[in-house]
Chain A
Amino acid sequence: MLATLKRLAAAVAPLVLASAIAASAQAAAPLLYVTNQSDGSVLVIDTATDTKVATLQVPAGPAMITASPGGRRLYITHPETGQISILDGQAIGRPKVLNVSGKPFGIAAMGDGRLFVSDWDRDLLVVLDGETGEKFAEIKVGRAPAQVAVAPHAKRVFIANREDNSISVVDTDRLIVIATVKVGHAPFALAVSPAGDRVYVANVQSGDVSVLDANSLAHQGTVRVGAMPYGVAVSPGGDRVLVANQQSGTVNVVDAASLVPTYRAKVGRYPESIVMLPDGSKAYVVNWMSSDISVLDGETGRELKRLEAGDGARGLVVVPSG
Chain B
Amino acid sequence: MSLFRVIACHVVLVLLGAASAAAHGPTPQKVEESIAIAAPPDVVWAAVKNFDGLVAWNPLVESSKGKGGNVAGGERIVALKSGGKLTDSLDEYLEDEMSYSYRLATPDIEAFPVSFYSSTLAVRPGADGGSEVIWDARLYRADTGNFPSETQNDQAAIDAVAQFFQEGLKTLKEQVEAQ
Contacts and interface: CB of A to CB of B under 8 A. Distances in A.
Given A207-B91, A247-B101, A82 B14 contact: yes
A120 B24 contact: yes
Nearest to B137: A289
Interface string B89-128: 0011000000001010000000000000010100000000
A121 B28 contact: no
B90 to A, nearest CB: 9
B27 A103 contact: no
B26 interface: yes
A196 interface: no
A80 B92 contact: no
A121 B92 contact: no
Given A101-B13, A248-B92, A163 B22 contact: yes
A112 B103 CA distance: 41
Contacts of A105: 25
Interface residues of A, number: 34
A96 interface: no
Contacts of B145: 121
**Chain A, interface SS category:** loop
A219 interface: no
Interface in B137-174: 138, 145-146
A173 to B, nearest CB: 27
Interface string B2-19: 000011011001100100
Nearest to B120: A247
Given A81-B146, A82-B14, A289-B30, A226 B20 contact: no
Interface of A: 37-38, 61, 63, 79-82, 99, 101-103, 105, 120-122, 143-144, 146, 162-163, 205, 207, 226-228, 246-248, 269-270, 288-289, 312
Given A63-B27, A143-B22, 10 more contacts: A99-B7, A102-B17, A144-B22, A144-B24, A207-B91, A246-B118, A248-B101, A269-B120, A269-B136, A289-B32
5 A-B pairs closest in CB distance: A101-B13, A227-B92, A227-B91, A247-B101, A120-B25
30 contacts: A37-B27, A38-B27, A63-B27, A79-B27, A80-B25, A80-B27, A82-B10, A82-B13, A82-B146, A99-B10, A102-B17, A103-B25, A105-B25, A121-B17, A121-B20, A121-B145, A144-B22, A162-B24, A205-B103, A207-B72, A226-B92, A227-B72, A228-B101, A228-B103, A247-B92, A248-B92, A248-B101, A269-B136, A270-B138, A289-B138
